[in-house]
Copies of this chain bind each other. A is one copy, B any other.
Amino acid sequence: METGRLETFADGVFAIAATLLILSVGVGIESSQGVHLRQELLSSWPSYVAYVVSFMTIGIIWANHHTVMNQIARADRTFLMLTVGFLLVVAFIPFPTRLVQLYISDPTNAAAATVAYGITLTLTAVTFNALWFYAVRGGRLLRADADERTVQGISKTFRLGPWIYLVITLVAVKAPKVGAIGFLLFALFWVIESSVFGRSSASR
């Protein structure tokens, strides 16, 4: 089975999940009457930050999926089902994002919201790993001319992902705002790392 239609489906889910994030920006604002909108918009800044972090995270996942699929020649049914499982978790991201937007300033519930966010991102990394290592194992689905250095590089980076998300999630249990900043910094790190440093090495 060729991977073309699989990429179309995945790109669809990525694009929709990212774009749906806007539906929960400033949820509380519209319903209230007698509101002072300027004030509300200014104090809603955590809602925008959460939007940006989740959108960037899905954007990075999309770019990495792109890189991964470039090394893969074909898909079997197991790979298809692993992809569905992975997309299922990615499409879940808007829900904990909404929780963080609603509860990050609420001392009682900020931890629960941030941890839910962290668990989702950890599962994203875990299922992405499952996808990749299933394809790589014994060169099962790799292209005949797959670039050995790129494959090694992806494997090395991917192995770290779940652990980093897990550590930030554990931090969020005790200090939800520190955890939230952790997710922001990790997304920024990815963007900068791949933009600035990736430019020289990965010019394909």
Selected interface stretch from A152-160, A163-171, A178-186, A191-199 = A191-199
Complex alpha-carbon distance, A95 and B28, angstroms: 12
Docked-complex contact B9 and A9, CB < 8 angstroms:
no
Size class of the A contact interface (CB-based, 8 Å): 35 or more
8 contacts between A and B (CB under 8 A): A12-B12, A20-B22, A22-B94, A27-B30, A41-B116, A63-B80, A77-B198, A84-B191
Docked-complex contact B91 and A19, CB < 8 angstroms:
yes
Can you add 17 more A-B contacts, CB < 8 Å, to A19-B91, A56-B85?
A1-B70, A9-B62, A12-B15, A13-B19, A16-B16, A17-B19, A19-B20, A26-B95, A30-B102, A35-B109, A36-B108, A36-B109, A37-B112, A41-B99, A55-B84, A62-B84, A78-B196
Complex alpha-carbon distance, A61 and B59, angstroms: 19
Docked-complex contact A7 and B5, CB < 8 angstroms:
yes
Interface of A toward B, CB cutoff 8 Å? 1, 5, 7-9, 11-23, 25-27, 29-30, 35-38, 41, 51-52, 55-56, 59-60, 62-63, 66, 70, 76-78, 80-82, 84-85, 87-88, 91-92, 94-95, 98-99, 102-103, 108-109, 111-113, 116, 191, 194-196, 198-199, 202-204
Least CB distance, A168 to chain B, in whole angstroms: 18
